[in-house]
Amino acid sequence: MCFKIVLFAYGFPHRKTIDFIKTMYQHNFEISLILAADFIKIQSPKSFFNISQKECSVSAYELAEKYNIPIHRVAHNSVEAQSLLQEYGVNFGIIAGARILSHNVVKLVEKGILNLHPGLLPDIRGLDSILWSIEKNYPLGVTAHLINEQIDSGVILNREKINISIDDNLESLYEKIYQLQLYLLPRILNLFFTNNCSMLEVKKNGEYNYKMSYDKQIEMSSKIDEYIKKHSNL
């Protein structure tokens, strides 16, 4: 079967959007459509941790031009986005950057929408997955899954843990989780597109985690070194 891929992405400088596009084309996967959403400011607790953000040297629009990908600046859950999904006949989606997608959008993508979640589902769902994994003493890893109407749920295609070193710190753990997403992306696509991907339907989800409050971040910060020692490959 021919897969026509839509990438749900961000139009503003966004590392994951850029790296997902580059990774896919490095591994010979073509994108049929990019839906690039604008930045929306939301209320969020301030961060106690100073995790450096790497700058993007190129924009999604520049990469779309380079690879000749149709790109549209549009809100992902809008009627316009739904019309574009139908117009381009896409049948598989990948999330490189998106808020929660509506049921109306999800059902238009016939073969599913892939998300690479920076936590091990079904236990660690929602936001600040790395912080909550440390707080709850869960292993750190990435889950590849096909989304459904519930948040961070659906059919699990793969779960993989990161290797933790005694020399790690919170910032290096974030980077390892990020690099694991890039590593898994082409491998999951290869397996899924050749019908060699095992699928595990989630029957019961763990609780949904919201953004960790500032006070809670301070409280859990003292647990990071202990967590690394416990989970590291010494």
Which pLDDT score is estimated for 205? 85
pLDDT score recorded for residue 44: 86
| Distance of alpha carbon 232 from alpha carbon 173, whole angstroms | 11
Domain CATH number, residue 34: 3.40.50.170
| Structure tokens given for 144 | 């590849």
Distance in Å from the first CA to the final CA of the chain: 46
pLDDT per 10-residue tile (average), the chain, 234 residues: 92 95 97 95 88 86 97 97 97 95 95 96 94 97 92 90 96 97 97 87 85 96 96 82
CA pair distance 113, 8, nearest whole angstrom: 9
Please report the pLDDT score of residue 198 as a whole number: 81
Length of the chain: 234
Residue 18 belongs to domain spanning = 5-231
Per-residue pLDDT at 193? 93
Domain count, the chain: 1
- Predicted TM-score (pTM) of the model is 0.95
Longest dimension (CA), the chain: 53
4 neighbors 47 (Cβ within 8 angstroms):
no
Residue 124's pLDDT is 94
Classified as helix, coil or strand, 70 is: coil
